[in-house]
């Protein structure tokens, strides 16, 4: 990512509506769709500045790795988890077949080899384990945000399923999410592109707007764990070994 993104992410991810609502949704998806057993081992691959670590640690014994030195340091300081130095697909600092749940949340879009990276994460799974992943959706939503975050691609459902299967995994559940705000996000991004730029949509809005957006997006926690959504700003998938 652009060097300026990590400090802003660390400052905002505890309060920004997108991070807050996504954690609420993922918490319910893990509880209802994955249902990890007590004492299970969990790995977050590419944990960034650590915004998801507390959420994941509530479900089991947590490990994590991150490539960027500054982000890794921030994540360790924030969470108390010893975040190791690692990289996808070829430098994962843990033994294979060690984890019941591997989470890689908005990571695959950053790597050159998404199939190889997902295959490498699949090798980390114990028997019956699951990979939980999220990625940004739809190429037509490409914006300055994607440039700043050094995204290589955005996905649609068909392409994500192809990547999962090419990695030797089988999709258990695949759904779009951030659906309720899709018209707003799409309108803002397309308008920004027409104007030749656009702002940073990870900037923290006013307190009242932030609460409203978190409430609208967060409402999807009541839907996403139970049924798939036909479109959205992001995609979520659960996969296991084929």
pLDDT one-digit tens code per residue, 154-191: 999 999 999 999 999 999 999 999 999 999 999 998 88
Query: Which is it for the CA torsion 83, 85, 88, 92, positive or negative?
Result: negative
Residue 97 has pLDDT above 90, yes or no: yes
Residue 153 has pLDDT above 70, yes or no: yes
Confidence band for 8, pLDDT divided at 50, 70 and 90: confident
Q: What is the mean pLDDT of the chain?
A: 94
Q: What is the number of other CB atoms lying within 10 angstroms of the CB of residue 173? A: 17
Q: What is the number of other CB atoms lying within 10 angstroms of the CB of residue 233? A: 22
* Domains defined along the chain, listed by start: 5-241 (3.40.50.150)
Confidence band for 200, pLDDT divided at 50, 70 and 90: low
Q: Where are the extended beta strands (E) located within the chain?
A: 41-45, 61-66, 83-85, 99-105, 125-136, 169-177, 234-241
How much is the pTM?
0.94
């Amino acid at each position: 990512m652009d060097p300026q993104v990590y400090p802003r992410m660390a400052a905002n991810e505890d309060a920004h509506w997108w991070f807050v609502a996504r954690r609420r949704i993922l918490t319910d998806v893990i509880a209802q769709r994955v249902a990890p057993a007590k004492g299970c081992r969990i790995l977050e691959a590419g944990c960034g500045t650590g915004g998801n670590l507390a959420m994941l640690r509530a479900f089991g014994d947590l490990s994590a790795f991150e490539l960027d030195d500054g982000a890794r340091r921030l994540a360790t300081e924030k969470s108390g988890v010893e975040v190791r130095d690692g990289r996808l697909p070829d430098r994962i600092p843990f033994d294979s077949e060690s984890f019941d749940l591997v989470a890689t949340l908005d990571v695959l879009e950053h790597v050159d080899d998404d199939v190889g990276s997902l295959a490498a994460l699949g090798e980390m799974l114990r028997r019956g384990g699951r990979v939980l992943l999220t990625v940004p959706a739809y190429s037509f939503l490409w914006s300055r945000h994607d440039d700043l975050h050094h995204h290589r691609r955005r996905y649609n459902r068909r392409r994500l399923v192809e990547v999962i299967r090419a990695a030797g995994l089988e999709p258990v559940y695949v759904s779009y999410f951030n659906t309720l705000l899709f018209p707003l996000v799409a309108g803002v991004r397309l308008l920004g592109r027409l104007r030749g730029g656009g702002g940073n949509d990870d900037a923290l809005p006013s307190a009242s707007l932030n609460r409203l957006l978190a409430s609208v997006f967060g409402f999807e926690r009541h839907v996403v764990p139970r049924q798939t959504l036909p479109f959205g700003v992001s995609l979520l998938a659960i996969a296991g070994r084929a």
